[in-house]
């Protein structure tokens, strides 16, 4: 049953993942801005892996207002974007794990 739930969730949009996480765990993070940034990062990754780096309507839909390219344009990943993406991912993972640990400690008290 858990496998079925996880499998169905992997096809949802990134924002939906975090809505479900917040509903289940109430961690208070990440921020809306961070979620939007992560959605664009993931959309870029998907285009690089599945569409030879050529933006399409799926990229624009997934990246929403953070889309850096229009359908038909080739994605570029400059060093600054790569660095900022890595830092955003690092921060979100750190914030989520810190919040989860704090919540677990609180519930054990």
- Residue 98's pLDDT is what? 97
Which residues contact residue 60 at a Cβ distance below 8 angstroms, ignoring those fewer than 6 apart?
67, 69, 70, 71
Integer Cα distance of 11 and 26 in angstroms: 22
Q: Could you tell me where the beta strands, DSSP code E, fall in 1-109?
A: none
- Residue 108's pLDDT is what? 82
- Residue 87's pLDDT is what? 98
Please report which helix (H) or strand (E) contains residue 26, including its range.
none
The pTM of the full predicted model, rounded to 2 decimals, is 0.87
Under DSSP, is residue 43 helix (H, G, I), strand (E, B) or coil?
Answer: helix
- Residue 49's pLDDT is what? 96
- Residue 6's pLDDT is what? 65
* Domain segments of the chain as ranges: 2-108
Q: What angle do CA 75, 55, 90 make, to 5 degrees?
A: 55
Spell out the per-residue pLDDT of the chain, length 109, in tens.
Answer: 656 666 676 677 889 999 999 999 999 999 999 999 999 999 999 999 999 999 999 999 999 999 999 999 999 999 999 999 999 999 999 999 999 999 999 888 7
């Amino acid at each position: 049953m858990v496998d079925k739930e996880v499998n169905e969730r992997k096809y949802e949009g990134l924002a939906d993942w975090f809505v479900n996480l917040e509903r289940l765990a109430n961690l208070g993070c990440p921020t809306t801005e961070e979620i939007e940034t992560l959605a664009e990062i993931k959309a870029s990754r998907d285009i690089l892996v599945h569409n030879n780096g050529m933006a399409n309507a799926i990229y624009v839909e997934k990246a929403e207002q953070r889309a850096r390219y229009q359908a038909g344009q080739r994605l570029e990943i400059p060093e600054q974007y790569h660095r900022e993406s890595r830092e955003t991912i690092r921060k979100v993972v750190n914030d989520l794990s810190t919040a989860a640990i704090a919540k677990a400690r609180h519930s054990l008290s």
